[in-house]
Structure 1
Amino acid sequence: MAPTPRDEHDGAELTVVADMWSPACTVIRTFLARNEIACRWVQPTDQAGRELLTDHGFTVADTPVLFGSDGRTLRPTDEEQLAQWVGLHTKPTSDSYDLLIVGGGPAGMAAALYGASEGLRTILLERWAIGGQAGLSSSIQNYLGFPDGISGSDLTDRARRQACKFGAELVISLRADHLRPTDHGFAVHCTDGITITARSVIVASGATFRTLDIPSVDKFNGRGVFYFSALTEAPLCSGSDVYIVGGANSAGQAAVYFASCARRVIMLVRADSLAVEMSTYLIEQIEAIPAIEVRTGVEVVDASGDTHLEHLTLRDRTTGAVEQVPATWLFAFIGADPATEWLDGSFARDDRGYLLTGPDIAIVDGSDSPWPLSRPPLHLETTVPGVFAAGDVRAFNGHRVAGAVGEGSMAVMLVHKFLGD
């Protein structure tokens, strides 16, 4: 039996009444946690939940419902509405900037910081929350200057405050869906009809999480099956068994983090060894924690349950043997694909969809070069002159936080060169 959600913020001014196994509840919980909005969670079946709903004219069927200490209520329909309701900055203050950055992960935040600090009127658009995938990391231990490690949320908060100090404008819940050149730069069109123009653009939209793509598992998304959400769900897993799918650093970091609160952490790794994708320092940490069990050569093939996940079916990839295990919590960290679907065909990509930049543009097959100018492309410049790429969205990147930060700051240097020319 899963534990009841605990109220972690007794002094919070926001109360959320929602069933913990509701996918809509998961979306809200993740959005609020990632944007550092303190809240108190109440089950609709608890007395406090029933009283709140009744006093404001709601029923259990209306949940999730948010209650503010000022008497306001909200039944959120999307993240933008939720972001506005809790007071996040969701609309640009102008329609024209020197530099527009799409994506608020480490690459985008570094670009925002350096762009604003060096005199460029800078705006950053982030769909979910500042920090990107790195913001979900429980502990980043190989980032320069933090010998004891730092959580993704702490690093994100420092970056946000630093960028804002220099005047960067950070807009949350506004999603770019098209980019086109104009006579004086570029126009980025957003899903709610807002268009923003800028003299230059840095694409740092990162990557989107891969899912297990198993119909019976998909049925439990947000109801026991989660992707890259260790920080937001861990408080609910105290004393439980937690299954983690994946063998790279993100999965290892999550396993170490869950081991501090879960009864047992079972890592399910398709490869024959963690060494295939995981850093050595992390493997050594995992081996030193008795609560973590690593099962290699194993994959999930089925899931079952009633209102939430209750069982997983696992298969040994070598012998084909199948077993069913009781499971309430499954967290998958199985990689990501580049978030480039919003860009048109004028942006050259590699065979996995990552943006080609600078000298890598030359690898494109065919006699017709995708680069349109007589000058060579700048190092992080895409095949659309004046649009640069940084971080996980770019081909041949290292998929490390430090590398993304370096690319974001370098991209601003190249923007200055482009604008100067």
Structure 2
Amino acid sequence: MATQPEVTTAAQSLYESRRPQMFPKLSAQQLSRLCPHGKRVETRAGEVLTEPGQRHAPMYVVLDGALDLSLPGAGGRITVLTKGDFGGEISTLRGAQGFVRISVVDSGAVLAIDEGQLRELVQTDAELSEIFMRAFILRRMGLIASGQSDVMLIGSRHCGGTLRLREFLTRNAYPFTSVDVESDPSVQDLLDRFHVRENELPVVVCRGEKVFRRPRNQDIVECLGMNPKLDIEAVRDVIVVGAGPAGLSAAVYAASEGLDVLVLETMAPGGQAGSSSRIENYLGFPTGISGQALAGRALVQSQKFGANVGIGWQAQRLLCDRWPYGIQLEDGHVLRARSIVVATGAQYRSLPLENLQRFIGLGVYFAATHLEARLCKDDEIVIVGGGNSAGQAAVFLANSCRHVHIVIRAPSLAASMSRYLIRRIEENPNITLHPQTELTGIEGGDRLERVSWFCGANGDAVTEDISHLFLMTGAVPNTQWLEGCVKLDDKGFVRTGADLTREELAQTGWSLQRSPYLSETTLPGIFAVGDVRSGSVKRVASSVGEGSICVQFVHRVLTEMATRASA
């Protein structure tokens, strides 16, 4: 019988330190409950059961013998699974491409449980569900923390494209290795090996084979198999557009109640909230939680109940001329659903500065995560904005930056920021608030070098040698794709429910005797929740509540539609 090997790599050390939670051993009674849900497979030494990059790989539970779990390349062995152990992580539940190789060390037998059976298990067996879900989440965290992956990002920390790709992979909880061209001594060997010129950076090397020069996010999604294979032609009960707090909440509640749910997300789960370093006023998390962690948990929860999620799928246009409704994607494909939940949220408003676009990712940022914090460590920074997101960013960045300037037009933060954040800002000597102040200019060469602002209270015009600017001002709704279908307010947010007047309903052809349900738009069966909805409270808790409440009205609409179709 094989024995557990000595820990020889950083990846192995991390896995071993949390082994009891990451690799719990199932009891004989738990194994007996699993057997009806899988297929017994005899194994022989040297056989490979799963390769990295394999999609729809089953979860293997060891009944006899031993399996080796390893990362490709320098990652090496993670652990050896013996009787009562099981493989798999989050990608197993999703049917997406996995990361590890599973091979047979000692001949024996395994129970192979496919993703459909696994999903049924985690929905029906509370004890096993808790064991599997905790292990899957921790294993993904371990993969990321290990720094070992067959996906490599080669780029410069002074390149906007590199930052975009790092943010995309990080926020989607995808393990990758980052190589910085300014500091890594092996970079020239890598460039020569993959026949890459410096003017072609950033580069993503996928699975050690495919090389993508200056790739789009969609290129990475396809190469890495981040999404499960989906039936494009299927008509679903509900399509949720946007995987922020409101969209994920709607997906969790709809899927848990048996609806066929598809979630479309352009960038990454969490939306604007996903870029928050720490949310401390969300119910149930007294010590706070990062936006990315909250979104990650919600995403896994939605997939546990059977929701499908498409990352990198952007809704280009709502097709509302017939039912079931259609959503045209960027690649021209059309997805159809009996109901649609619009949860596309809002984005920070850009400032009217002539050269702003030139410095995005090169000193100008719209998020304050650990990625941005590393870029501006020990430097002076400016944050423009007076909402909670700006306050959270200021408090977080003040821990590592030399000094933080907050620029706001208002005379104080009282009207726009939670009191607990205001107190922290007031008591932090590393933060200076500039009220009644407006940013007037930014300058630089290859990247941002100087920032100018004007204080209306005392008439001071200031220019500082500051190379990091965070813009967190206002909100612009992501509603362009809805044009011509639903009623928007004068700022572009979606009008819903009791806010809609009879005249507006008549203008848009509302044909039902009933009034629109809460959060329903001027089209029956199309709902808007969260920040994208006109009049919504721009808070995470409010968005989660709207997403969950919306599902009861989705059920009503589906019943109404079915009744009319059969009449």
- With normalisation by structure 1, the TM-score equals 0.93
Q: Is residue 23–residue 222 contact of structure 1 (8 Å, CA) maintained in 2?
A: yes
Letter in structure 1 aligned against 2:166: R
With 312-321 and 115-124 compared, the bigger mean Cα shift is at: 312-321
Letter in structure 2 aligned against 1:138: S
Q: 1:160 aligns with which of 285, 290, 299?
A: 299
Aligned to 2:30: none
Q: Is residue 372–residue 383 contact of structure 1 (8 Å, CA) maintained in 2?
A: no
Aligned to 1:336: 475
- Partner of 2:166, secondary structure, is helix
- Indicate yes or no: 2:312 matched with 1:199: no
Q: Cα offset for 1:183?
A: 5.1
CA distance in 2, matches of 1:179, 1:409: 23
Q: Cα offset for 1:209?
A: 2.4
Q: Cα offset for 1:369?
A: 6.9
- Indicate yes or no: 2:156 matched with 1:29: no
Q: 1:280 aligns with which of 411, 419, 427?
A: 419
- Indicate yes or no: 2:200 matched with 1:38: no
Describe the shift of the 1:368–1:384 C-alpha distance in structure 2 as closer, same or farther (beyond 3 A). closer
Identity of aligned residues (%): 37
Letter in structure 2 aligned against 1:77: P
Aligned to 2:22: none
Q: Is residue 201–residue 214 contact of structure 2 (8 Å, CA) maintained in 1?
A: no
Q: Is residue 161–residue 214 contact of structure 2 (8 Å, CA) maintained in 1?
A: no
With 91-100 and 166-175 compared, the bigger mean Cα shift is at: 91-100
Q: 2:152 aligns with which of 5, 12, 15?
A: 15
Letter in structure 2 aligned against 1:87: G
Aligned to 2:226: 88
Q: Is residue 227–residue 333 contact of structure 1 (8 Å, CA) maintained in 2?
A: yes
**Unaligned residue ranges in structure 2 (runs of 5+):** 1-143, 561-567
- Indicate yes or no: 2:289 matched with 1:147: no
CA distance in 2, matches of 1:145, 1:366: 40
Q: Is residue 239–residue 261 contact of structure 2 (8 Å, CA) maintained in 1?
A: yes
Aligned to 2:525: 386
Q: What are the equivalent positions in structure 2 for 1:22-421 lying under 5 Å apart?
A: 22-46=159-183, 47-68=185-206, 70-89=208-227, 92-95=230-233, 96-181=235-320, 184-362=323-501, 368=507, 371-421=510-560
Q: Cα offset for 1:111?
A: 0.7
CA distance in 2, matches of 1:407, 1:338: 17
CA distance in 1, matches of 2:453, 2:272: 27
CA deviation map 1:250-294 (0-9, x unaligned): 100001111122122111122111112111111112222222221
Describe the shift of the 1:29–1:375 C-alpha distance in structure 2 as closer, same or farther (beyond 3 A). same
CA distance in 2, matches of 1:8, 1:236: 19
Q: Is residue 90–residue 174 contact of structure 1 (8 Å, CA) maintained in 2?
A: no
Describe the shift of the 1:379–1:10 C-alpha distance in structure 2 as closer, same or farther (beyond 3 A). closer
- Partner of 2:523, secondary structure, is coil
With 249-258 and 44-53 compared, the bigger mean Cα shift is at: 44-53
| Residues matched between the structures, number | 415
CA distance in 1, matches of 2:287, 2:377: 24
Describe the shift of the 1:346–1:56 C-alpha distance in structure 2 as closer, same or farther (beyond 3 A). closer
CA deviation map 1:113-161 (0-9, x unaligned): 1111101100000010011111111111111111111110110111011
With 64-73 and 137-146 compared, the bigger mean Cα shift is at: 64-73
Q: Which runs of structure 1 show a deviation greater than 4 angstroms over 4 or more consecutive aligned residues?
A: 363-370
Aligned to 2:110: none
* Higher Cα radius of gyration: 2
Letter in structure 1 aligned against 2:163: T
With 91-100 and 397-406 compared, the bigger mean Cα shift is at: 91-100
Q: Cα offset for 1:247?
A: 0.7
Describe the shift of the 1:369–1:156 C-alpha distance in structure 2 as closer, same or farther (beyond 3 A). closer
Q: Cα offset for 1:12?
A: 4.0
With 226-235 and 162-171 compared, the bigger mean Cα shift is at: 226-235
- With normalisation by structure 2, the TM-score equals 0.70
CA distance in 1, matches of 2:241, 2:206: 31
Describe the shift of the 1:216–1:359 C-alpha distance in structure 2 as closer, same or farther (beyond 3 A). same
Describe the shift of the 1:104–1:295 C-alpha distance in structure 2 as closer, same or farther (beyond 3 A). same
Higher relative contact order (CA 8 A, sep 6+): 1
Q: Cα offset for 1:217?
A: 3.2
